[in-house]
């Protein structure tokens, strides 16, 4: 789901503590260590990232930065994180610990860090629940998240990590109702945004922040393909993420996907083959993407059908976590049956595709 869906949900659902008050945002040595650790997490170098966790446990034993960083490790080490699977309960525990510690920071007068870490820990939990079809569990967090988003506008000059939050809000608050006019009346109840300013803020966050630079770059890629219709920019940001984090299967899959959408089929082939050689989740993605390659590049309808159907079989164990990739297979099979003259099957698969994902570029 990631943060865009979180913001959409927000818009339309509507004893002593030894380190309290410690000024993390001005601790440059720790922030440098955090940047190193975050980069290692995103590149799936989890053993190396543990060094940063050990450092944080020693220097900030009661600060929310420590369980939050641990939560990032769980989130990516066991991606896709699914309830009941390894890492899931541990992730939930450390994120709850993060927002509990954050509230203590606020009570002690450290509003900036308290707001940031409570907001981000709740945001990750909401994504985790919604990605796994547990939206009712996510709802309880939304009021507090919106409260902290609004507070972020007054705090961003003190802590640049907030530019990711405020930039994302500024953009989606305007772009989503424009793309889906049915939501315009509901949007009137929320603080107005600014699309141009939102993109500028996200670009800044992608260059300058410690925690949120990767998420900012990812969302710029998604914004450019979903709303701005600038596929070259979407491909560029996806390529940058893959180049900087070559061992991250999610970024590899987004890069392959953007290349396919841009009809750069030959360039997509190596990333697709790489995905197919990885774990079962990435193999599923690569198999469906190979169906697109066979269909669009090689004009081999029968072989593409085999890949699409095999990809859907591999996707079964991932349930809703595979939905947006399954949409590519469904729409591919819809095209297959349309050419074969089976309009009933074509319509059925097109309906499945739309139910699986609402991204226009997939269709």
Structure tokens at 292: 């697109």
Tokens of 17: 């503590």
Distance between CA atoms of residues 156 and 150, nearest Å: 11
Count Cβ atoms below 10 Å from residue 294 Cβ, excluding itself: 21
Q: Which residue has the higher pLDDT, 52 or 4?
A: 52
Give the residue extent of every domain in the chain. 1-224, 248-363
- Which of the two residues, 336 and 133, has the higher pLDDT score? 336
Distance CA 115, CA 148 (A): 6
Place 359 in a pLDDT band, splitting at 50, 70 and 90.
Answer: confident
> pLDDT-based confidence at 2, cuts 50/70/90?
low
Tens-place pLDDT, residues 32-76:
999 999 999 999 999 999 999 999 999 999 999 999 999 999 999
Predicted TM-score (pTM) of this structure: 0.90
Mean pLDDT of 6-28: 56
Tokens for 109, please give them.
Answer: 């007068």
pLDDT of residue 10: 47
Determine how many CB atoms are found less than 10 A away from the CB of residue 97: 17
Kindly state the tokens that stand for 359: 């991204």
Beta-carbon contacts of 39 under 8 Å, excluding residues fewer than 6 positions away, are 244, 245
CATH 1.25.40.10 assigned to 248-363: yes
Q: DSSP readout, 201-239?
A: HHHHHHHH-SSSHHHHHHHHHHHHHHTS--HHHHHHHHH
Alpha helices in 245-300 (DSSP H): 249-261, 265-276, 280-296
**pLDDT tens digits for 179-232?**
888 888 888 888 999 999 999 999 999 999 988 999 999 999 999 999 999 999
- Stretch 254-267: mean pLDDT: 98
Residue 341: pLDDT over 50 = yes
Helical (H) or strand (E) element with 69? helix 65-77
Closest alpha carbon to 271 in 313, 320, 217, 235 = 235
């Amino acid at each position: 789901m990631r943060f865009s869906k979180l913001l959409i949900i927000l818009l339309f659902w509507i004893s002593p503590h030894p380190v309290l008050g410690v000024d993390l945002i001005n601790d440059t040595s720790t922030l440098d260590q955090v940047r190193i650790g975050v980069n290692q997490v995103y590149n799936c170098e989890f053993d190396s990232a543990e060094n940063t966790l050990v450092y944080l446990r020693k220097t900030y034993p009661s600060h929310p930065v420590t369980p939050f960083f641990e939560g990032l490790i769980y989130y990516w080490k066991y991606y896709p994180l699914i309830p009941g699977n390894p890492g899931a309960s541990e992730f939930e525990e450390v994120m709850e610990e993060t927002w509990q510690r954050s509230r203590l920071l606020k009570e002690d007068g450290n509003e900036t860090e308290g707001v940031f870490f409570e907001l981000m820990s709740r945001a990750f939990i909401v994504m985790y629940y919604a990605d796994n079809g547990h939206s009712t569990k996510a709802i309880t967090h939304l009021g507090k998240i919106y409260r902290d988003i609004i507070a972020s506008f007054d705090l961003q000059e003190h802590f640049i990590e907030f530019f990711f939050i405020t930039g994302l809000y500024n953009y989606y608050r305007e772009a989503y109702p424009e793309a889906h006019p049915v939501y315009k009346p509901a949007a009137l109840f929320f603080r107005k945004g600014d699309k141009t300013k939102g993109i500028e803020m996200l670009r800044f966050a992608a260059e300058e922040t410690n925690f949120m630079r990767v998420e900012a770059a990812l969302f710029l890629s998604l914004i450019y393909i979903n709303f701005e219709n600038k596929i070259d920019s979407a491909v560029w940001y996806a390529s940058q993420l893959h180049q900087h984090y070559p061992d991250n299967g999610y970024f590899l899959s987004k890069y392959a996907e953007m290349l396919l959408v841009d009809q750069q089929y030959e360039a997509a082939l190596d990333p697709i083959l790489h995905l197919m050689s990885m774990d079962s989740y990435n193999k599923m993605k690569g198999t469906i993407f190979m169906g697109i390659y066979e269909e669009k590049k090689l004009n081999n309808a029968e072989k593409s059908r085999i890949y699409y159907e095999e990809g859907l079989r591999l996707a079964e164990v991932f349930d809703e976590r595979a939905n947006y990739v399954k949409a590519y297979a469904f729409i591919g099979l819809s095209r297959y049956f349309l050419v074969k003259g089976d309009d009933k099957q074509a319509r059925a698969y097109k309906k499945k595709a739309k139910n699986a994902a609402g991204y226009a570029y997939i269709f």
